[in-house]
Every structure is written in C-alpha cells, then in structure tokens.
Structure 1
C-alpha cells in the first residue's frame, strides 16, 4: 500500500523493538504492520473490530 498514510503508535519509541503502525486503507479496513520490518507486509482488520480492540486496551 504505497499510498497509505501510515501512523506510528504513540507508545512506540525510536529505540523500542515493538513499533506498530496503522493506516486506514479503505473506509472499512485498517492496516497494521511492524514498522521495524516492513518486508513482512501488513494485515488488515475491519474498522469496527479495530475500534473495539483499541477500546478494550485503552479502557
């Protein structure tokens, strides 16, 4: 997804090996990838499921 606007997690640090990036790939799909190893690609999650996941770890 070369045109996707990927955003690094605010919990990721420059020296941290656990860096996650997300991007809205379509109106109902979120992409998730490891920013330290882009060659592995990404996986996709429905937007509503990603929202529930984030709500469960934040709340």
Structure 2
C-alpha cells in the first residue's frame, strides 16, 4: 500500500500547516499503537507508510 500526500492537506476541510500536520500525525501514531491489539502488524505497517510519506512531504 502506498500513501500519497498532496501539497495541500486538510482535515475536515481545514488546511493544516506543516507543524500542525506533524502534531496530528504524531497523535495518530500514538492513538493507533495504543488501540491496536488484534492486527498490530498490519496497522504498524500502515503507520510506517504514513510516517514515510509525511517525511517525504516535509523535506
């Protein structure tokens, strides 16, 4: 699975600055790791893809 981030990222139609998006992704990562018990491998892989895509977006 490949996740592509667009130049303009919005959540609930509200544009986010890069710092806001970084904070959101950190919170998302923490939330997934805390709640994932059944499919840890699958969800961890998805979170890794999101993190890598975000890193590419910010560089």
TM-score of the superposition, structure 2-length normalised? 0.33
Query: Per chain length, whose mean CA-contact separation is higher, i.e. which structure has more relative contact order (CA < 8 Å, sep 6+)?
Result: 2
More strand by share: 1
More helix by share: 2
TM-score of the superposition, structure 1-length normalised? 0.33
